[in-house]
A and B are shown apart, each in its own frame.
Chain A
Amino acid sequence: MTAKKKSRILGIVVILLLLCEAASLAVLFSQISKYSEREFTNIIPLTESTGTTVVKVINEPKNDVYAQNNGMNGIAQLANPSFSAYDEKTVWQAETDVEIFRISYENDENKLTVKGQDNNGDKLIAPGTSNKYVFTLANTGDVPLMYNLNMESWITGTDFNIPVEVRVWNHENTYISGSSSEKVPVLELNNVNHDSILGTGRYDVYTLEWEWPFEQGNDEFDTMLGNLAVEDDLELHIRINTTASYSDDPDAEDSGILPPKTGDRFNVKLYVIIIISAILILIISSLIKERKSEESA
């Protein structure tokens, strides 16, 4: 085999190697990109779908303006929107189990007063039980978002109503269900349908409080439910739904709580790109050096 032929084969191998690297990196980065730009812990990735791409016009002199990609002049950089819903323990994804209810409850003296049988992990409700569930909706991307928050509640196992009362409010003490002085029947959660906007890096905090009043003046009804529960599972279900999308509302940028800036905003993607690029350059350099030494030999 001639040296020319060897050199041609080597060149093809190098190109194929680079193509493979490129393909794998593309896949790698598509995954990494979902976890980059973390300003909050517990960020979940966006659900991707085909559609109009949102761009951020960098050279806008006044404010950051976001527009649909409609042929505007300027250097455009693809935006990185991200929306996250989470509580102190769990990041929501599709049908995430959260702790609105509990498997046991304590009274004011920290004594356990309600607890499931056999430690089977069943969550319970009973007269006198209550809880507050606090969750956060955060714009973790770099474009403003509008979001919808709606709730559902339903009862299974009985046609009777379970006398649980609720109210829902946000960090500005704006009540989207019930009021500061009054809770409403739990099934009224089905009327919660709240739209709001979130600026970049901002978040809203909501509290869902529920209570089964101990003294509601109908002990017989409470007792009947407790006795029916011996034979059948009388269950109360609550679901919280959120949907977020890009917002072009000019007021959106100032909406929501702005977290204090803390620490280094470490850009994972950039660091990975630099490291892998350096490795590739080293590989290519060594190949070239090897060829040189072969040719000189």
Chain B
Amino acid sequence: MKKNKSMRLAGGLMIATMLSTSIVSGTYAKYVTSDNADDSARVAKFGVTVTASGSLFDKTYMSVGGGNTPGGITADTDNTTLTVESSNDNKLVAPGTKNTEGITFAIAGTPEVDVKLDVVVDEVKEVFLNAKTDLPDMTTGKVDDKFDNTDDYYPVKFTLTQVNGDGTSTLVDGGKLSEVETKLEGLTNNSIDANLDLASEIGTLNLTWEWDFDAKGAGTYDKQDTLLGDLAAGTTLVPATTLIEDTDYCLNEAIKISISVTQLD
């Protein structure tokens, strides 16, 4: 019986000790606590490049042996191969000239932000001779020689191709510059998602042109071409005819293409 009491006492003491110990544990502290939170972010990659290379027109053009292509700035030293050569600093187009390399725009990069492609074409001018009757036939120089230009005549034909992830596609095949303008501006889009390869989505645009020397057989457009050439030279028209520049004809070929890739908000 005495042992039982001792045991009970010991047990009670132990329980009391445990209780107090457990309560006290964890509280012997100076109450100081500190926490911190971190975060970091890196600047999203842009890295979009729009590269333009080449040119459309030149001051000189090679002979047919040289491909009728732009002669570059070597005109003075290599003029034996040139068939078209500007008398001043103006760039020229003429029957038989062409540029098979033309101008190329390459869009590349994989930005981590949504982007928008903008293609703006302005200052477009192209050589033409509108449909009109009784135009002077300057190929003969005779007072009574006239010809009818039955359709509007655009001698310089443009070809626009696009190479992207889908392959090569011809957007304009031997068309007018106004068609090129429409197609290029049609590439403007609302949004290209982040992380898409722009070389695959848009890729490369190439614009070339040609003023065919003899598109539909000998002499098909000789009268139109000659009249345009004489108008450019200021030659007196025989028979005398009144033609209004930019209405009846145009003697300039020009285009300004601006391509930009902009982040979307």
Tally of contacts, chain A with chain B, CB under 8 A = 263
Q: Which residues of A contact B240 (CB under 8 A)?
A: none
With both chains docked as a complex, state the minimum distance between the C-beta of A62 and any C-beta of chain B, in angstroms: 23
- Cα of A116 to Cα of B26 in the assembled complex, Å: 45
A96-B35, A277-B19 are contacts. A288–B43 as well, Cβ < 8 Å?
no
Tell me, yes or no, whether B216 is within 8 Å of chain A by CB: no
Q: Kindly supply a per-residue 1/0 record for chain B positions 86-130, scoring 1 wherever the CB is within 8 Å of any chain A CB and 0 otherwise.
A: 000000000000000000000001111110000000000000000
B31 touches A29 (CB 8 A): no
Q: Is the interface of B mostly helix, strand, loop or mixed?
A: mixed
Q: Is the interface of A mostly helix, strand, loop or mixed?
A: mixed
CB contact between B45 and one of A34, A226, A240 (< 8 Å): that residue? A226
- Cα of A114 to Cα of B263 in the assembled complex, Å: 10
- Which residue from chain A places its CB closest to the CB of B47 in the assembled complex? A230
Q: Which residues of B contact A176 (CB under 8 A)?
A: none
What total of chain A residues lie within 8 Å of the partner, measured CB to CB? 104
A48-B29, A53-B28, A107-B264 are contacts. A238–B39 as well, Cβ < 8 Å?
yes
A243 touches B32 (CB 8 A): yes
A25 touches B21 (CB 8 A): yes
Contact residues of A between 180 and 213, Cβ < 8 Å to B: none
Tell me, yes or no, whether B74 is within 8 Å of chain A by CB: no
Tell me, yes or no, whether A166 is within 8 Å of chain B by CB: no
- Cα of A233 to Cα of B26 in the assembled complex, Å: 44
Q: Which residues of A contact B32 (CB under 8 A)?
A: 46-47, 49, 51, 243-245
Tell me, yes or no, whether B80 is within 8 Å of chain A by CB: no
Q: Which residues of A contact B34 (CB under 8 A)?
A: 47, 241-244
- Which residue from chain B places its CB closest to the CB of A287 in the assembled complex? B7
CB contact between A239 and one of B11, B30, B38 (< 8 Å): that residue? B38
Q: Which residues of A contact B11 (CB under 8 A)?
A: 14, 18, 280-281, 284
- Cα of A109 to Cα of B4 in the assembled complex, Å: 80
- Which residue from chain B places its CB closest to the CB of A27 in the assembled complex? B25
B46 touches A33 (CB 8 A): no
Q: Which residues of A contact B21 (CB under 8 A)?
A: 22, 25-26, 29
With both chains docked as a complex, state the minimum distance between the C-beta of A60 and any C-beta of chain B, in angstroms: 19
Tell me, yes or no, whether A249 is within 8 Å of chain B by CB: no
Listed by A's residue number, 9 A-B pairs whose Cβ atoms lie within 8 Å are A51-B30, A79-B31, A83-B35, A93-B35, A95-B38, A123-B39, A226-B44, A226-B111, A238-B40
Binding site for A on B (CB under 8 A): 3-4, 6-8, 10-11, 14-15, 17-19, 21-47, 109-114, 191, 193-195, 263-265
Q: What are the 10 A-B residue pairs with the smallest beta carbon separation, nearest first?
A: A226-B46, A51-B30, A29-B22, A33-B26, A101-B41, A30-B25, A230-B47, A126-B44, A100-B39, A48-B29
Binding site for B on A (CB under 8 A): 7, 11, 14-15, 18-19, 21-22, 25-34, 44, 46-54, 78-83, 85, 87, 90, 92-102, 107, 111-117, 122-129, 133, 135, 141, 143, 145, 157, 162, 214, 223, 225-230, 233-246, 269, 273, 276-277, 280-281, 284, 287-288, 291-292
